[in-house]
Amino acid sequence: MNKVYIDKLSGHVNKEVQINGWLYNSRSSGKIAFLMVRDGSGIIQGVVSKSDVSEEVFTSIGDLTQESSLSIIGKIVEDSRSESGYEMHVSDIIIHQIADEYPISLKEHGTSFLMDNRHLWVRSKKQNAILRIRHTIIKACRDFLDNNDFILVDTPIFTPTSCEGTSNLFETDYFGRVAYLAQSGQLYSEATAVSLGRVYCFGPTFRAEKSKTRRHLTEFWMVEPEVAYADLNDNMELAERFVAYIVERVLEIRKEELKIIDRDTSKLENVVPPFPRISYTDAVEKLNSSGHKFEWGDDFGGEDETVLAELFDKPVLVHRYPAAIKAFYMKRDENDEKLALGVDMLAPEGYGEIIGGGQREDDYDTILKRLKEHKLSEKDFKWYLDLRRYGSVPHSGFGMGIERAVAWICGLKHIRETIPFPRTTHRLEP
Ligand code: 4AD
Ligand code: MG
């Protein structure tokens, strides 16, 4: 029998096929039963007439519970009213397992219950749609960079030093030494950018975030392009082209899924370059003049970012932050030593920072001084200092948190639904 996925039925009309899946829902009225079967790619209704199947098969339908695994065999017919566009006239059913009473019914459940049952929750329609969109976002990141001649260079997860400050490091024993889980692959990408010109790393990153917010995970995925001979402006241009491409691809490929999760896409359609650019100093002024009190020198919190981003109808690039609140590796603005050539991209609709990056300090003596100021060990960073000794050039890059991007593009209130199995301060299971 021809095994077919529900989203690939168009060439099989009026033909007998087999669909392998799980029971989503069912109803029966004596002589006819309707089975809603999902197979991961979609949901189809199987119509079972008592006269079309053996008595044994028809009786067995009564045993089927939600999420029981089964194969339905029968003829595909067009049905414009249904979600898949087709239904099946079932001639046979193979039952693989009768599921125990399924904890997640089709009615509403509380978040903590759903999170405890995340391993089952991922099967639900909305979660399935979000995971598909996440997949497309990741693929779009790769496609954009690959099509623009970036080389993927993986960076290590066990690292001897910090990249983004020492306050949120995960420490682990490494054969009697201390190792830290990578907060970012950036420092290593700076090395490979000198070998290959344009590179990116893409992997899981870890931060022992003590703050419990709807934007923070302890384990998240980051894509980080790094470009030799690129300055801050080149970096901002790359970031906006990158994000615009991702949004465009999702709008094009995931229309159905965006509908399933009720995403109002009108604001996403507006995400085309150029994005507004504003300096941190001007941003602070704008915040204060719009009645939101904020002190120059402080780092933006979630609320500040939301207010700021609301002043624009596209993602906004905020550049030239106070050096004191940024990482050691950031190059200073030659016109004002207090400023770092960093840039953050803030997403609209209250999603805040989705990208952080900037131009890197490329002078040996300066970066050595910065390491000391940040109380980082010169010895641990010897290899990194070498990059400033052998063919140092201006270079820039950024990192985009995949889950932040998914939350924004999907319009999700909380980051926990953007990753299959979220890790937060209070959650290690399932
Ligand atoms: O701004 P961050 O800390 O920048 C870096 O790590 C740089 N080394 C990147 C680079 O220049 N190559 O983090 C970058 C992005 C943030 O903008 C945010 O999207 C995401 O990573 N991010 C988090 N996402 C979820 N949970 C957290 N705890 C996150 N911390 C950062
Ligand atoms: Mg940041």
Residue 356 CA, closest ligand 1 atom number: 1
Question: Rounded distance, CA 350 to CA 92, Å?
Answer: 51
Task: Please tell me the least confidently modeled range out of 80-89, 134-143, 207-216, 358-367.
Answer: 207-216
Which domains, ranges and CATH numbers included, belong to the chain?
Answer: 2-97 (2.40.50.140), 118-418 (3.30.930.10)
Residues 232-260, mean pLDDT to the nearest whole number: 98
**Residue 244: pLDDT band with limits 50, 70, 90:** very high
Burial of 395 per CB tally in 10 Å (0-12, 13-18, 19+): buried
Cα(399) to centroid(ligand 2), Å: 9
154: which 2 tokens? Answer: 């993986």
> Which of 201, 222, 419 maximizes ligand 1 atoms within 8 Å of its Cβ, making it the mutation to test the pocket?
222
pLDDT of residue 341 exceeding 90, the answer is yes
Residue 404 beta carbon below 6 angstroms from any ligand 1 atom: yes
In this predicted model, what pLDDT tens digit does every residue of 264-302 receive, in sequence order? 999 999 999 999 999 999 999 999 999 999 999 999 999
Which residue's entry shows tokens 């399933």? 260
CB 13 within 8 A of CB 78: yes
For the whole model, what pTM was predicted? Answer: 0.97
Rounded Cα distance, 162 and 180, in Å: 7
Ligand 1 in reach of 224 Cβ (< 6 A): yes
Ligand 2 geometric centre to CA of 141 (Å) = 19
Residue 378's alpha-carbon distances to 166, 182, 367, 381, 383, in angstroms, are 15, 19, 10, 5, 9
Q: Which ligand is nearest to the CA of 397?
A: 1
* Distance separating alpha carbons of residues 99 and 92, to the nearest angstrom: 19
Spell out where 215-315 has E strands: 219-228, 277-279
The H or E element that residue 250 is part of is: helix 232-253
Share of the chain above pLDDT 70, in %: 100
Give the pairing type, strands 316-322 and 277-279.
parallel
Cα(261)–Cα(217) distance, integer angstroms? 22
Best mutation site among 316, 402, 404, 423 for ligand 1 pocket (most ligand atoms within 8 Å of CB): 404
Q: For residue 226, which atom of ligand 1 is closest to its CA? A: 12
**Is the distance from the beta carbon of residue 416 to the nearest atom of ligand 1 less than 6 Å?**
no
Q: What's the pLDDT at 94? A: 98
Q: Which atom of ligand 1 is nearest to the CA of 163?
A: 8
What mean pLDDT is reported for the chain?
A: 96
Question: Candidates 155, 188, 220: which one to mutate for ligand 1, based on the most atoms within 8 Å of Cβ?
Answer: 220
Q: What is the pLDDT of residue 166?
A: 86
Q: Residue 1: which pLDDT band, with cuts at 50, 70 and 90? A: confident
Q: Give me the helix-helix angle, 402-410 and 232-253, nearest 10°.
A: 50
For ligand 1, say whether the CB of 67 is within 6 Å of any of its atoms: no
Specify the pLDDT at position 348. 94
Strands (E), 155-197: 158-159, 171-174, 177-181
Residue 212 banded pLDDT, cuts 50, 70, 90 = confident
pLDDT (average), residues 129-140? 98
CA diameter of the chain? 86
Tokens at residue 144, please?
């954009």
Angle made by CA atoms 350, 351, 356, in degrees to the nearest 5 = 130
